[in-house]
Amino acid sequence: MTTLTYFATAAKGIETLLLEELRGMGISDVKETRAGVHFTADLEAAYRACLWSRLANRILLPLASFDCPSDDELYRQVKALDWSKHMRVDQTLAIDASVTHSNMNHSQFAAQRMKDAVVDYFREKTGDRPSVEPLEPDIQLNLYINDNKAQVYLDLSGTSLHVRGYRSRGSAAPLKENLAAAILYRADWPSIAKQGGAFVDFMCGSGTLPIEAALMACDIAPGIDRDYYGMFGWAQHDDDLWQRLKKEANERRAQGLKLAPKIMGFDHHRSTLERTSQHVAQAGLQKVIKIEYQDLFEFSAQVPENGLVVVNPPYGHRLGKGEDLTPLYHQIGQVMIRHFDGWRASVFTDDKAKGKTIGIRAKKIHSLFNGALPCKLLHFDIEPANVMQSYRLPRLIPQQELSESALGFLNRLKKNLKKIERWATRESISCYRVYDADLPDYAVAIDLYTDVETSRLWLNIQEYEAPKTIDPDKAKMRLREAVSVVKLVFDVPDEQLYLKSRRRQRGDAQYEKLAEERIYYQVEEGACHFLVNFEDYLDTGLFLDHRPLRLRIGQESENKAILNLFAYTGTATVHAAVGGASRSLTIDMSNTYIDWAKRNMALNDINGPAHRFLQADCIAWLENPTEKDKFDIIFLDPPSFSNSKRMQDVFDVQEDHVRLIRLAMERLTPDGVLFFSNNLRRFKLANTELDDFEIADITDQTIPDDFRQRKHIHRCWEIRFR
């Protein structure tokens, strides 16, 4: 059979997928180019591509290629072709033209000149002429002129192959079928289906994604139900070949339907679902695809154990009419987290930033186009480890369904807030604790942060691990009630509420990384501004219980030299520098926190060589300091325990604090002060081993009013030379 080089057109961004698809059909001689793929093959392969390609727009048969500097040359070259090889005079035709970077600059005029040439060819040969029919003509011709070079094609597909034949009427903002297929390929749906996974689209609209998923999974040719192709009117059409390919496709469909996976589509528009069910039936998939009503904000459907979720939410351009779609995207994430744990998911959106609101870290992102609109396809593994901390919120309970004990918690929180707001306003404090396990049944700490730039409130809820004697289901319910009450009292959007679990761990557990979103907000404390991060770590970058001590350091730092050891994010250094410290040295073992400390200093317009930063093991540095300078104020706040690989030895604050304090005192000026603090609950200072120093327990002075409920949040001493 004769081989020719055909051209399969495709939407922008799909070309590579189309090349892989054609190779999967056994077509080896393929070449990707802009807007499509050239492939050299026989007519059977071209027919097979028409029938089986899920991605191509059109399959074009080349008829001629020539230089085209003018419309007269276009007319002459087209008229010179032997059109009797391709059509009869009594047939209809249509011409689609595209002109770029050429002397001719009007596509419609180029199409008209080409039509005149074909008509005049037949008129001169037969005395009659073919008619023009724009919709489903017997012969569809395509003309491309670029840089004054023309290519003439016969369109074997006739109309775009994205038209499968099952859709009776459109719906608002439909997703083209071949774009839907590209999304499913990128989401790896064929592999998931082979492994027995299910498919769900809980915003299915007119059903394009579920139907395309079923066609793929059941090995159904996407063009099998089309009753019109451009090849049917072509003079060289091989109908026996076409019928053989259709027979093979029907056999494959019958076999594939026996192995269909579970495919489900949900939507909250009942009128749309009626149309969707019609499409499913017209595709012959009513026994494969389950279509049901579900409100996204009250989603309760029972779904299989594993599979793939794909959704194409509104973009806000047409359906959304420009409104804030943040709550919608947030709810998409909540449905995934609560109902599809262990599944894979893909979300097609015009804006990657909206994907942040979903609350699950994307593992991969693909670029695709919906028409001319650039879009992103975000891929997720729905697992607890990938859920952003702020989105691990339990399902909320309406106020009317709260238990008596939860209502008691509600009243306690309101009472606390009323009292502490007066204190915070009086003291000009904008970040503080409003509740700290006051009621045993609700063992959470709730911290409030006010964003300096937007005045928005951020709530950081930390759940204390329940004792093993507590029923886990009861603990979960108490947490649901606690979060529900916080939402009621503060009335903040979900994305401004963060929930974390503080387990019983030794030492520097607060430094453990939970995520890597690197989203920071600016807060205020006294005359200082700080960057806080609610997502990436258990703590936020600002230990609120040390507020009084930081303020004191700031008040006593004028013209003083400051050493901040185990500095974390350098907040004490910032207070000292803003208070007029002449110089400072900030040391921490973590590059991340040293960088954070630098950013905090820069946020307060503090720069220059007087204020230095060092990433180092603090104990190793104290043993072998890189400088002999001494400091007037030293802040020493070590972890309770650390076995970090970056440290020379395992550190235990109870066992090692005497040695640590003595090393630090060697860096202190004779009239200086060392503030030593730690948060080990049962810590006991070895006074007898440090009796050559003047030591004062200042814990009570450094516990702020908002932490009086938890007096053992830290211990603090002031140490001087006698």
**What does the DSSP assignment read for 128-175?**
--PEE-SSS-SEEEEEEEETTEEEEEEESSSS-TT--S--SS--SSPP
**Average pLDDT in the 413-433 region?**
95
pLDDT for res 601: 98
Does pLDDT of 389 surpass 90?
no
Which ranges in 25-70 belong to alpha helices (H)?
43-52
CB contact at 8 A, 584 and 610: yes
Angle of CA points 296, 301, 302, to nearest 5°: 150
Alpha-carbon torsion (200, 203, 209, 214), positive or negative: positive
pLDDT above 90 (res 511): no
What is the total residue count of the chain? 722
Q: What proportion of the chain, given as a percentage, has pLDDT over 70?
A: 94
Tokens of 603: 């946020």
Its sign, for the CA torsion 48, 52, 54, 57, is positive
436 bridge partner residues: 445
**Inter-residue contact 523 to 600 (CB < 8 Å):** no
In this prediction, residue 39 carries a pLDDT of 96
Amino acid letter for position 718: E
Helices (H) and strands (E) in the chain, counts: 19, 30
pLDDT at 321: 44
Query: What average pLDDT does this structure show over 539-543?
Result: 94
Residue 504 is predicted with a pLDDT of: 47
What does the pLDDT look like over 647-692, one tens digit per residue?
567 889 999 999 999 999 999 999 999 999 999 989 999 999 999 9
- CA–CA separation, 289 and 166 (whole Å): 14
- Which domains are delineated in the chain? 3-155 (3.30.2130.30), 177-220+254-387 (3.40.50.150), 399-504 (3.30.750.80), 523-721 (3.40.50.150)
Find the range with the poorest average confidence among 206-210, 309-313, 353-357. 353-357
Q: Which residue has the tokens 């996407």?
A: 222
pLDDT value of residue 16 = 95
pTM for the model: 0.65
Q: How confident is the model at residue 320 (pLDDT cuts 50, 70, 90)?
A: very low
Question: Token pair of 716, please?
Answer: 């603090």
Q: Look at 330 and 322; give whichever has higher pLDDT.
A: 330
Classify the phi-psi angles of 437: left when phi > 0, otherwise alpha if psi is within -120 to 50, otherwise beta. Answer: left
Question: CB of 409 within 8 A of CB of 385?
Answer: no
pLDDT (0 to 100) of residue 172 = 44
Residue 577: how many other CB atoms lie within 10 Å: 27
Query: Each residue of 453-503: pLDDT tens digit?
Result: 889 999 999 988 888 788 888 988 999 999 999 999 999 887 788 888 765
Do the bridges between strand 631-636 and strand 611-615 make them parallel or antiparallel, or are there none, so unpaired? unpaired
The two structure tokens encoding residue 147: 């840089």
**Lookup: tokens for 217:** 């999974």
Element (H, E) at 275: helix 270-282
pLDDT tens digits, one per residue of 58-84: 999 999 999 999 999 999 999 999 999
Number of alpha carbons in the 13 Å side-chain half-sphere of residue 447: 22
SS3 437: coil
Rg from Cα positions in the chain: 35
Side-chain-facing half-sphere of 283: CA atoms under 13 Å: 33
Q: Is the pLDDT confidence value at 170 over 90?
A: no
* pLDDT of the residue at 560: 98
**How many CB atoms neighbour CB 182 within 10 A?**
27
Q: What value, to the nearest 5°, has the Cα angle with vertex 663 and ends 661 and 669?
A: 90
CA distances for 598 relative to 385, 559, 637, angstroms: 30, 21, 19
Contacts 24+ apart (CB under 8 A), 550-558: 550/525, 550/526, 550/575, 551/525, 551/526, 551/575, 552/702, 553/579, 553/633, 553/635, 553/675, 554/526, 554/527, 554/528, 554/578, 554/579, 555/579, 556/633, 556/673, 557/581, 557/633
The pLDDT, as a whole number, for residue 297 is 87
265: which strand partners?
201, 291
Average pLDDT over residues 315-331: 66
Quick one: tokens of 646? 């970056």
- Is residue 354's pLDDT more than 90? no
Residues 684 and 692: their CA atoms lie apart, in Å, by 17
Q: Which pLDDT belongs to residue 348?
A: 96
Evaluate if residue 1 carries a pLDDT over 70. Answer: no
For residue 215, the surrounding DSSP H or E stretch is helix 208-217
Looking at every residue in the chain, the average pLDDT score rounds to 91
pLDDT classification of 390: cutoffs 50, 70, 90: low
Residue with tokens 């439909």: 174
Model pLDDT, residue 507: 41
Percentage, residues of the chain above pLDDT 90: 78
Distances (CA, A) of 102 to 74, 141, 717: 12, 20, 82
